[in-house]
Amino acid sequence: MAEALMKYDEAIANFDPVLGLEVHVELGTNTKMFCGCSTVFGAEPNTQVCPVCLGLPGALPALNRIGVESAIRIGLALNCEIATWCRFARKNYFYPDMPKNFQTSQYDEPIAFEGYLDVDIDTDEGPKTFRVPIERAHMEEDTGKNLHMGGATGRIHGADYSLVDYNRAGIPLIEIVTKPVEGTGKYAPEVAKAYVSALREILRGLGVSDVKMEQGSLRCDVNLSLRETPESKLGTRSETKNVNSLRSVERAVRYEVMRHAARLTAGERIVQETRHWHEDTGISTSGRSKEDAEDYRYFPEPDLMPIAPSREWVEELRANLPENPAVRRTRLTAAWNISDLEMQNLMNAGVLELVEAAVSAGMNPDAARKWYTGELARVANERGVEVEELGVTHVELSRIEALISEGALNDKLARQVLDGLIAGEGDVDSIVAGRGLAVVSDDGPLIEAIDAALAADPAVVETIKSGKLAAAGSVVGAVMKATRGQADAARVRELLFERLGVSE
Ligand code: ZN
Ligand code: MN
């Protein structure tokens, strides 16, 4: 059932939106948070389980050190304070995908708290930075997965029966919760999207997660409330769950602003509830009425020791954090003398790291960008894989570039070398030799091919001699064809004009 909506501009003219974002990120550890089970995605259901993550009687958890280390690094990258002492807590509720009947989480003692993340958005007055305050980042475990079978939608309604896969139960999660984000005004949807995007970039830079929203390794819940003025107290919020693309984050905020405004204007109350986002129709529908924290009867986890990260460890992790992504982008944009748009293209193609590695190994930045955003991105896209999965290294690209600048390869031949590399035919030099790809630099065979082309099209001789030099293109093309692309086109052109006594 569609709910009443108020136009966005009208809603914003009458109300002040306040955002809250909760992001769950699945860590890329090899094993689960409290047991040694594998975390590899896509395995047969219930093959990555053990007594601990199935909650069998008597099984005891053992904490994953890398999980804690990742949580601290995430906290530091988000400008948080790191707890000197904290504990896990049991969050008690029943759900079939959670075999222990409680989730091991953190409650009033999160490992990281009081941070912020600055995000940049385009406003009517130009680029502007918003500071998103972060309340906490805490450690917890993922649940299993319910699969509802037999229905049309994959949802429980209309399903014939349900199955449970516990492979995901116990995979480490970090939940990052913002404070109420105020002062965004009409830019609330853009700020929400920019925040999730910036967060994803930071997490990727830390190497703690593959942050694939479509596979659920980064999941976002969007809280929104409206109030009459920025001075009024906070209104009742709704929480839209599992908004799983950047575009949907923006749309879900916009939708809730319009829905809340219509209800409030009609004199209705906002119900505190969770809502389901529907990607296809771009609307959300009511879920369950939202529990408060006290409903979960949290209490400290008795089976795990408190965590007291030493200050030496925390400082060592801080000293080894990667450069902040925004700072790094600005630095590389200047160093490579490229535009913001060109930097954006590198980001969109997902090849910034690859280009940076190539350049720091001595490759020319323009050449590196050309290969990674051009030919390699095209092939990767065709095959539905990431560029790095093609297995072409910058050492090989540099070798191809060197052969091009020596005149031993032209662009067309270079692409064939690349095909050979992707097909695993060996290194650049052996592919050049094996496929016979060197440019024909000896004038003899070129002159023969030119004469043959002119003999096949005698009229072109007069055309060129009369000054219509553009006609030379067809002769050069014929020679390139005859030499299977292995001629140097510029040299063919030179020889042709020499032969006809024409000067350029
Ligand atoms: Zn296990
Ligand atoms: Mn959570």
What are the DSSP calls for 356-420, one per residue?
Answer: HHHHHTT--HHHHHHIIIIIHHHHHHHHTS-GGGG---HHHHHHHHHHHHTTS--HHHHHHHHHH
**Highest mean pLDDT out of 92-106, 339-353, 414-428, 452-466:** 92-106
Distance CA 36, CA 143 (A): 16
Could you tell me the CATH number of the domain that includes residue 463?
1.10.10
Distance CA 206, CA 220 (A): 19
**Cβ distance 152 to 93 under 8 Å?**
no
DSSP notation for 192-258: HHHHHHHHHHHHHHHTS----GGGTSEEEEEEEEEESSTTSPP---EEEEEE-SHHHHHHHHHHHHH
**Highest mean pLDDT out of 200-204, 471-475, 493-497:** 200-204
Q: Is 485 helix (H, G, I), strand (E, B) or coil?
A: coil
Ligand nearest to the CA of 167: 1
* Cα-to-centroid distance, 140 and ligand 2 (Å): 7
CA atoms within 13 A on the CB side of 374: 12
pLDDT score for 296: 92
* Cα-to-centroid distance, 175 and ligand 2 (Å): 6
Residue 209 belongs to a domain: yes
Last residue of a domain, one of 266, 296, 313: 313
Residue 332 belongs to a domain: no
Q: Residue 300 sits in which domain range?
A: 8-313
The whole-number average pLDDT for the span 275-281 is: 89
3-state secondary structure 327-341: HHHHHHHHHCCCCHH
Ligand nearest to the CA of 89: 2
Report the DSSP pairing between strands 16-26 and 161-165: unpaired
* Cα-to-centroid distance, 168 and ligand 1 (Å): 9
Ligand nearest to the CA of 104: 2
Place of tokens 């023969």: 448
The whole-number average pLDDT for the span 205-213 is: 91
Residue 369 belongs to a domain: no
Last residue of a domain, one of 283, 313, 343: 313
Ligand nearest to the CA of 143: 2
Return the percentage of the chain with pLDDT > 70, whole number: 99
CA distances from 484 to 270, 271, 387, 450, 494 (A): 71, 71, 28, 14, 19
Residues 74 and 212 in one domain: yes
pLDDT score for 270: 92
Residue 387 belongs to a domain: no
* Cα-to-centroid distance, 195 and ligand 2 (Å): 18
pLDDT score for 112: 98
> Is the pLDDT confidence value at 137 over 90?
yes
Structural domain tally of the chain?
Answer: 2
Residue 402 belongs to a domain: no
Last residue of a domain, one of 313, 335, 366: 313
- 77 alpha-carbon distance from chain centroid: 17
The whole-number average pLDDT for the span 49-76 is: 97
* Cα-to-centroid distance, 366 and ligand 1 (Å): 48
> Is the pLDDT confidence value at 290 over 80?
no
- Mean residue pLDDT of the chain comes to 91
* Cα-to-centroid distance, 13 and ligand 1 (Å): 52
> Is the pLDDT confidence value at 342 over 70?
yes
Ligand nearest to the CA of 35: 1
Residues 449 and 307 in one domain: no
Return the percentage of the chain with pLDDT > 90, whole number: 59
Ligand nearest to the CA of 23: 2
Ligand nearest to the CA of 36: 1
Ligand nearest to the CA of 25: 2
**Cβ distance 420 to 434 under 8 Å?**
yes
* Cα-to-centroid distance, 359 and ligand 2 (Å): 41
List the shell of residues around ion ligand 2, using CB closer than 5 Å: 175
Residue 376 belongs to a domain: no
pLDDT score for 2: 73
